[in-house]
Structure 1
Amino acid sequence: MPEPNPTRPPALAILLQLRWPLFLALCCLVPFFVSDVWVQMLVFVTLFALLGLGLNVVVGFAGLLDLGYVAFFAAGAYTMGLLTSPGSPIDANLDFWLILPLGILIASGVGLLLGLPVLPLRGDYLAIVTLGFGEIIRLFLINRDDLTRGSQGLSAIPRPELLGIEIDNFTRWYYFVIAAAVLVGFCTTRLRDSRIGRAWEAIREDEDVAAAMGVNTTKYKLLAFATGAAIGGLGGVIYASFIGFISPAAFSLQVSIDVLAIVIIGGMGSTPGVILGSLILVGVPRILQFRETSDFLANLGWLRETLNAIIGGLDAITPGSIGRLPPTETWGAQLADDTRFIIFGALLVLVMVLRPSGLWPSTRRRLEFAHDEPPAPAAAP
C-alpha cells in the first residue's frame, strides 16, 4: 500500500481512497436517470470492459500480443448455446449457473490449447499465429452445421435466474454485468500485485532475463493465456444469454481488434484505463446513434459549416478530395456507422504519438515511459 503523501490535503486523500466505492455507487445510480436505450448501451460497454480486463492480463501484464481473443469469447458463448438452445443437437437444458463454470473451464482449456504451440514465439509471429487461431475457430463454427447450425446460429437461449428473479430486462442485466466486471477487476488487480503478476511483468519486460532470474516462463505464459481465456469465456456465456442468439458472424476478427484497441488506448496494465477505453470505443459510437444525440448535433450547424470550411481548405492544398460532413440531421448516425474505423485509427495514432502509455496508464507503465531531463552542464570555473 503506498505511503500517504504529507503534502496532499486530507480531504483529497480520503477522496482518493474512496474513489472506487464512489465510482461503483455512481454506476449503480445511472439506471434511475436514463432510459432503457442508454442502459442497453452501458451493458455493452461494461461487457467489453470485462473482455478488456481479460485481454489486459495477456497483453498488459504478460506482454503477449493476442489477436485471437475472440476464440475464447466464442468458446464461452457456444458452450452456453449448445447446452441450452432448443435448436442445438446436444441441448441438455442445463441451468445457467451450471453452464457458467463449464464455459469458463472450456474457454480456459482453449487458451491452453493456443498457448502450448506458441510458447517459443514472440512479437509479430505470436500475433500472426493467434490471428490465425481466431479465424480457425470462426470457420469451424461456420462449417460444422451438424453441431453449431452454421450461419443460422442458435436461438432461444434462456436467461439466468438469481434468487428466483429472472434477469429479463436491461436494468437487471446492467447490474448483473456490473457485478461480473467488479469481480473480474478485483481478481485481476490482486493477480497483478501478487507474485504471479510480478512474474508476468518480468516476462513482459525481458523474457530472457526473467528466465535467467529463475522465472518459469513456460508456466507463467500458459497461466496468462488460461486466465485471459477464462475471463473471455465468462464474457461469452453472459453475452449469449443476454442476446439470446449467437452465430459465427458475431465472433469475427473485429471483436479482437476492438478489445485490443480498448486495452491499448485506455492503457495497458491499467484497470481504469480499460474502463475508459471501453467508454470511448464502445460507448461513443453507440451514443452517436441515439435520437437525443442526433437532435443535439442538429443544433450545431455552425460547427458543421466550420469543419467543412476547414476541410475545403485542406482540399485546396492536397490532391484529391477529403469529402464533407453529412447534413446535421443525420451526421451523428453517419459518423457512428461510416467513420467508426477512421475514429479507431485516429485515436490509435494520437495515443501512440501523444500518450504512448495510454490515456490512463498504470503507475508502473507511466514511470516506464517517463523521460528525465538531462542535468544542466556545470558552469566552467
Structure 2
Amino acid sequence: MNIATDHHTDQQAAAAHPLMRAQRIFAMRDAVLNAWEHQVRASVRGADRLLTPILINTLPAFFDNLAAALTPGHPRDNAASNSNVPAMHGNERARMTTYGPEQLIEEYQIFRDCFAAIAQESGIALRGKEWHTINVSIDTGIRESIRAFTSTHDGFRRRIAAGLSHDMRNPLAVMCTSAQLLLQPAEPERVAQLAQQIAAHGKRLDSMIEELLDSLSYHRGQQLPLVLSHFDVLPLAHAVASQLNLQQPGKCVVSGHAVSGWWCENSLRRALENLLGNALKYGNHEPISVHVEETHERLLITVHNGGRAIAPDQMQRIFDYLRRENHGSAPGWGIGLPFVQNVAESHGGSVAVDSAPETGTSFIFDVPVDCRPFVVPTGMPGN
C-alpha cells in the first residue's frame, strides 16, 4: 500500500512540475518589464522622453500571452496567436510617439533579451521548443506591430489630406474666378481688387499646403473631448455590471482590486456598457467576467465571455465604424466597438481583442492610470 501510495505521489509531483514552472514564468512579468524599460530608455532613440505608461504600452498583455503559450496544455500557440495585442502596440506607437519602424523592432529584440536574462536569473532553463515559441512570438509581434504602425500613419495622412484637399477648393475657386475676370476689360480699381483677392487666397492656399506637408509627420488621431476627474474604477465596473445583473442575475462577475486614477468617468462608463453589451450579445448565454488591475502605471480592464470566437481576419475590422460582420439574427458591431476604441485612444491607450474557440473572447481596455499628460481635457473637476 505504501509503495502504491508513493508511486501515486510521484505521479502527482511529475504532473504538477510543468504547471509550477509555468507559474514561475508568469511571476517573471514585473522583473522582465522593469529590465525592458531600463534598457529601452538607455538604447532606443526617443524612448527616454516617454512617460512610463506610454512606454510600457501593451507589453504586459503581450507577456501574459507569451507565458500562456509556454504553459503545457494551453491552446495558445504563441504570444500573437488569436490576439491583436501586437497590432495595438504598433497603433499606440504611431499615435503617441515619434518612433519609426526601427525603434519598434529594437523594442521587441530587447524584450526577447530581457525575457531570457530574467529566466536565467530565476533558474528557469528555456528549452528548444520554448525558444521556438519565444522567437515566433517576437517575429510575429514585430510584423503585426509594424503593419499596424504604418497603417495608422497612412490613415492619419489620408484623413488630413482629404479634409485639406476639400478645403483647398474654396481659395482655388476664388483665384480661378478672379483670373477669368481679369481677362475681361475692367476698371483699374476692379483690377486691383481682383489682384488682391488672388494674392490673399493664394497665401491662404500656401498655408494649407504647408499644413498638408506637416501632416506627413502627424502622430495623433482625432480625440474625444474628455472631462477628467480622479476616481476608483472598480466601483464603476461593479455599477455597470450590476445594471446587467438586474436583467440577468449573476450573469456578470467583477474581480480585481481598486485602481484610482485620472480618467473621464462618463466615457469609461459608456465604454464598459458597450463592452458588456457586446459580451452579452455574442456570449452564447455564458457567464461574463470583468477583471480590473493595475500594472506599471497602466489600467487594464478585461471583459471576457464565451461563445463563438471572432475570426482572425475580423479582429481589426470589428473596430471599423458601422462594420457589421454578423449576418445572423443578432445585430452587427455597429458603432459600439469603434466608440470603445476611441475612448481608449483618447485616454492615451488602446483596446485589444483576444479570441479563440478554446479560451473565449476577451477585450482588454488598456490606458494610463493618469491620462492627464496625454490628453487635452475639456474640464478638470475634483482636483
In which range does the TM-score fall when normalised by the shorter chain?
under 0.3
| Structure 1 length-normalised TM | 0.24
| Structure 2 length-normalised TM | 0.24
Report the structure, 1 or 2, having the larger strand content. Answer: 2
- Bigger Cα Rg: 2
Report the structure, 1 or 2, having the larger helix content. Answer: 1
